[in-house]
Amino acid sequence: MELVCPAGNLPALEAALEAGADAVYTGFRDQTNARAFPGLNFTDAELERGLSRAHALGRKVFIALNTYAEASKLAEWRRAVDRAADLGADAIIAADMAVLDYASSRHPGLPRHLSVQGSATTAPALAYMHERFGIARAVLPRVLSIQQVERVCDAAPVPLEVFGFGSLCIMVEGRCQLSSYVTGASPNRHGVCSPASFVRWEEQADGGRSVRLNGVLIDRFAPSEAAGYPTVCKGRYEVRGEVFHALEEPTSLNTIDLLPRLRAAGVVAVKIEGRQRGAAYVRQVASTWRAAIDSLRGAGPEWAPRPAWQQALAAHAEGHQTTLGPYHRAWH
């Protein structure tokens, strides 16, 4: 089972490799990837250095071209595919069928992974993408129960990768209709569900703070309360006279408890979310998962995560809380 880790810049890439990542995923410094933050991502020269470093260690680098191309600017996405191939990337991660089609016809030797943004949740969907575009791997969406993951693994024509740790998304994998409605900007192409230009913090008379997204009140925080980055889904709203997290709690996915079951299902790789996070996050989370995956080799049914691993991961989770998310749904 591979460990696939995020790298938003060269220090994070180095941290992931030092912590034992089998592969890292990155993006170009443009809108062809879904984490187009200012100051984040790689120039071609930086990627060349990162690829050289990874390949020297026998590791892989995947380049995320996982946004949906604008009809009038498709040439930009095609050029990104060409750049990835020319740089010697080990694979591209794409969702748009136009991008996958161009890559398969122009660069057939460049492995193509179906992005989680492609939202393929069934074996027939994966079979179509494999037959039509020759995908070599697919990342399953974070909306499936563990039973559904097992069933897809049984019939999938390609190896499958799942997210193991990091932020959750309750919408169609990075294409949030809530955020699009509030801001008028696509999270898929603007790098984040709450673009900084739409966020406004306001100091309150009691020392607390409130935050608005494009003028819409998302949350209010008490003077001593820690405030995370505001998103529509994790805001607090008044519903029938009660103020609470009406859509989703601020918490992170953590599937380390499910490692034996994921391995038994045939999942080939576990992916860590967080290209927008720093090198310290990448190093700690990657090293924890590396230890867990290594300890699973040859282990019997008594295997269980160590408390120290759970504590280390909780320290980097949203709200210092973790969840199995949809994996533990009773209905599936």
**Predicted local distance difference test score (pLDDT) of residue 230:** 84
- Residue 87 lies inside a defined structural domain of this protein: yes
Q: Are residues 34 and 83 in the same domain?
A: yes
Q: Are residues 256 and 239 in the same domain?
A: no
Q: Are residues 122 and 214 in the same domain?
A: no
Distance CA 195, CA 43 (A): 22
- Residue 55 lies inside a defined structural domain of this protein: yes
**Predicted local distance difference test score (pLDDT) of residue 191:** 62
Q: What pTM value is reported for the model?
A: 0.89
Q: Are residues 233 and 268 in the same domain?
A: no
Q: Are residues 110 and 155 in the same domain?
A: yes
Distance CA 315, CA 86 (A): 39
**Of 236, 218, 234, 238, whose CA–CA distance to 323 is shortest?**
234
Locus of tokens 């320290």: 315
Q: Are residues 272 and 239 in the same domain?
A: no
Q: Of the candidates 244, 267, 285, which is a domain's last residue?
A: 244
In this structure, what is the dihedral angle of CA atoms 128, 171, 315, 6, given to the nearest 10 degrees?
40
Q: What is the pLDDT along the chain (332 residues), one digit of tens a residue?
A: 999 999 999 999 999 999 999 999 999 999 898 887 777 899 999 999 999 999 999 999 999 999 999 899 999 999 999 999 999 999 999 999 999 999 999 999 999 999 998 989 999 999 999 999 999 999 999 889 999 999 999 999 999 999 999 987 766 666 677 888 888 877 767 667 787 889 999 999 998 999 999 999 999 999 988 887 788 888 899 999 999 888 877 888 999 999 999 999 999 999 999 998 999 999 999 999 999 999 999 888 899 999 999 999 999 987 777 888 778 866 55
- Residue 181 lies inside a defined structural domain of this protein: no
Distance CA 127, CA 123 (A): 6
Residue type, 330: A
**Predicted local distance difference test score (pLDDT) of residue 23:** 98
Domain count, the chain: 2
Q: Are residues 151 and 126 in the same domain?
A: yes
The CATH number given to whatever domain includes residue 264 is 3.20.20.70
**Predicted local distance difference test score (pLDDT) of residue 87:** 98
Q: Are residues 153 and 62 in the same domain?
A: yes
**Predicted local distance difference test score (pLDDT) of residue 98:** 97
Q: Are residues 105 and 221 in the same domain?
A: no
Q: Are residues 56 and 140 in the same domain?
A: yes
Distance CA 34, CA 67 (A): 5
Q: Are residues 86 and 219 in the same domain?
A: no
Containing structural domain, residue 235:
193-244
